[in-house]
A and B are shown apart, each in its own frame.
Chain A
Amino acid sequence: MLTMQNVSMVYRTESVETHALRDFSLEVDEGEFVSVTGPSGSGKTTFLNIAGLLEEFTSGTYKLDGKDTNSLGDTERSRLRNEKIGFIFQSFNLIPELDIFDNVDVPLRYRGFNAAERKRRIDHVIDMVGLGSRKKHLPSQLSGGQQQRVAIARALAGEPRFLLADEPTGNLDSEMAESVMQLLEDINSKGTTIIMVTHEPNLAARAKRNIFVRDGRISTGEPELQVAVGG
């Protein structure tokens, strides 16, 4: 469902060219749980941005769910992001002025669902992440783990084909991180494809497949992390 072939990304300034990704090729099948690890500056976030259609790339081919994304305009890319991808960010990225219900509602409004359908979906996903009694709370009234659960609910509300998680436990203590990981595993077990960028080897190891990125390429030199552990 996600196919990248020889994708390169070059950031250019007047004097410097930075190769963030070099001939990056990857295929992720439906239902997989893939972790992406690598040192800082290795290209993990660039990969995530390109995979999530947040950024355009310099060369190569990227097909999402069979659709070539190279030639898409902003509106079409936005629609694809909204319909097929759920994002989970390291710092949750909840909108501080909106309560939990309205935060989860954000992507659904862009989808154009009517109010009843939106409410049904919001209630369902908020209950699913165990925050049914907190719908009218503001993000600032929740713990970090709860905020990340809300972000997961927001990502799931549109019933996307896959989740892109950027260091989803990076800002959480170990107990909350474990709870979020269990939630992600649970979601994956129900068929949602997950690609998770993480620094933490023990979390990466819980994915069904791990890829290690170094210098903008999938590396072959980190056997303990690059080996597919399942799938």
Chain B
Amino acid sequence: MELGPIWRALIRNKSSYILIALQIAATMALMVNAVSIIQERTRMMSRSSGTDEANIFQIYSMSFDPAQDYQAMVAADLDAIRGFPGVANAVVTNSLPLRQGGWSQDLKTEPGTDNEGSGVAIYFVDEHGVDTFGLNLVAGRNFEVTDVSWFDPDAGPRWPGLVIITEAMATELFPDARPADTVGKTAYIDNDIPVTIIGVLEKMQAPWKDWAGVERSMLVPMKRGDGFARYVIRAEPGYRDELIPQIEQMLAERDTGRVVDGAATMTEIRANAYLEDSAMIKLLVFIVSLLTAITSLGIVGLASFSVARRTKQIGTRRALGAPKAAILRYFMLENFLISSVGVVSGAVIAVGLNMWMVQRFNLTPISWYIIPVAMIALWLVGQCAVYGPARRASLVSPAIATRSV
């Protein structure tokens, strides 16, 4: 191995090599942080909402007739939807996970305005809510028909006194208790209205994907009975897409004086919720790829220039006994050393940049393994980039050594 002489030669002729090492360092720093952001966004996007996303869709109905008996209309709609072939269940509710709009309030373990509460997303549902969303009730019981009341939007909710919460919310309220053991405990809403926890769900995300408490949700047994009704429908597997236009048509035909609209599958709602994240990932992948390509071209350019500048030196080395493989190895090693300076500097810059971004933008710190993986990736990129010029160098004839020009 000629690492020592190559390193000493690099040090003595460092200006052009420093530039390429800096370029590699910048690529490394940006690559590591971009990958970290991509990883964080991907992790966020892959979180389960806790619902049967593949089979759920929503449709809403808007009526404008003040003489309409909305509660009767909703009840009749629900009966019709639940009886539709291919429908597994349906519920009228205020929102869905990932919809980016919903209802939240504080829930407290002690009554009173002085006590601090924990925010929770609220879904108003009837006894079909758990099944329609495909939720996993891990403790306690579901609502019964008699638990459910109508929600008068003009008067605001009259809290029915029974709620089902997610495990994350149970742990938030009672950190010392197992989630299942919170069944039967009392919490307070609107500061001092007691509600009893009758069930615990394994998981149901809040409508806001970026909310720190996204896993904290609560089902309240109330049905909304006004002009606006959001129906969430769970289809039997394989029926979702064909059911959407059929249910739309059926609802529209049942009452021609209303607007039936807003059909969207949970898959679409998820895609819409994470549109920016998805675009960000694509942008970062593009930027990292572009940077890597530019760095590769930089390495190719420098190595080609270096080979052209040192043609006589290469011929001399060949004359002194270097086989082609030794010349190839020389340039590969030289690039490895330049890349090493770049990736090590880049790793330091990457960590510093990440520490700043964690503080400034509240990002997750980079996973430790991203740095060695990025180093190896950039080493490989460097070796691939330098291979062509290095191979050309190895083909230089030893007879070049005796040429006087």
Contacts and interface: CB of A to CB of B under 8 A. Distances in A.
B322 A55 contact: no
B316 A95 contact: yes
A82 interface: yes
A205 interface: no
Interface in A28-79: 45, 48-49, 52-55, 74-75, 78-79
Interface stretch (B168-176, B233-241, B397-405): B397-405
Interface stretch (A102-110, A120-128, A185-193, A212-220): A102-110
B137 to A, nearest CB: 73
A95 B398 contact: no
A78 B322 contact: yes
A154 B320 contact: yes
Interface in A127-162: 138, 154, 158
Contacts of B41: none
B312 interface: yes
A24 interface: no
Interface in B1-60: 2, 4-5, 8-10, 12-13
A55 B399 contact: yes
B320 A54 contact: no
Interface in B284-329: 312-313, 316-326
A54 B399 contact: yes
A14 interface: no
Given A74-B323, A75-B323, A97 B13 contact: yes
Contacts of B325: 75
B101 to A, nearest CB: 66
A83 B321 CA distance: 8
A54 B401 contact: yes
Interface in B378-397: 397
Interface stretch (A85-93, A176-184, A222-230): A85-93
Given A109-B2, A166-B402, A87 B319 contact: yes
Contacts of B317: 95, 106, 110
B312 A90 contact: no
B44 to A, nearest CB: 51
B302 to A, nearest CB: 15
B381 to A, nearest CB: 25
Contacts of A93: 312-313, 316, 319, 401
A95 B321 contact: no
B399 A79 contact: no
A89 B313 CA distance: 12
Nearest to A75: B323
Q: Give the size category of A's interface with B.
A: 20 to 34
A49 B399 contact: yes
Contacts of B5: 98, 102, 105-106, 109
A208 interface: no
Contacts, number: 89
Contacts of B326: 78, 110
Contact of A87 (B2, B312, B401): B401
B312 A79 contact: no
Contact of A107 (B4, B312, B320): B320
A111 B8 contact: no
Nearest to B11: A97
Contact of A98 (B8, B319, B322, B402): B8
Contacts of B319: 52, 54, 81, 87, 93
Contact of B402 (A45, A74, A102): A45
Contact of A106 (B320, B323, B398): B320
A111 B322 CA distance: 9
A82 B313 contact: no
Contacts of A138: 12
Contacts of B9: 95, 97-98, 102
A81 B321 contact: yes
A99 interface: yes
Contacts of A107: 320-321
Contacts of A105: 5
B316 to A, nearest CB: 4
Given A54-B398, A166-B402, A97 B320 contact: no
19 contacts: A49-B402, A75-B323, A75-B325, A78-B321, A78-B326, A81-B321, A87-B319, A90-B402, A90-B404, A91-B404, A93-B313, A97-B10, A105-B5, A106-B5, A106-B317, A107-B321, A109-B2, A110-B321, A138-B12
Given A54-B319, A102-B4, 15 more contacts: A45-B402, A52-B402, A53-B398, A75-B325, A78-B318, A81-B321, A81-B398, A93-B316, A93-B319, A95-B313, A95-B317, A97-B10, A106-B317, A110-B320, A110-B326
Interface of B: 2, 4-5, 8-10, 12-13, 312-313, 316-326, 397-399, 401-402, 404
**Complex A-B, nearest 6 residue pairs according to Cβ-Cβ distance, in ascending order:** A82-B321, A97-B9, A78-B323, A107-B320, A110-B321, A93-B316
